[in-house]
Amino acid sequence: MKNHYKTYHPFIGPFDPCPPITEKVYSTPPNLYLGFQPPNLPQFAPQEALRRGTLWRPLYDPYYSPYERAKEEND
């Protein structure tokens, strides 16, 4: 599985009035790495799928703030 969080280093100008953020983080959706939908993808139970917003486990992507550590789920 690929890492869904990417980072980049923005340009920091010499006359910026605020303290610079040297590294920015953004999330990419899991469907970017899936391609065509393969047959027999693992699925959540119907009630769990409603809570998570998707039926298929590989497409589940919870949002975590980039300022907090992502909590690993035991799936």
Q: Tens of pLDDT along 53-71?
A: 899 988 888 877 666 655 5
The answer to whether the beta carbons of residues 58 and 42 sit under 8 Å apart is: yes
Instruction: Report the predicted TM-score, pTM, of the whole model to 2 decimal places.
Output: 0.56
Q: Tens of pLDDT along 7-41?
A: 999 999 999 899 998 998 888 888 888 888 788 88
What would the two tokens of residue 14 be?
């010499």
List the chain domain ranges.
5-73
Across the chain, what does the average pLDDT equal? 81
pLDDT at 74: 40
Could you tell me how many residues make up the chain?
Answer: 75
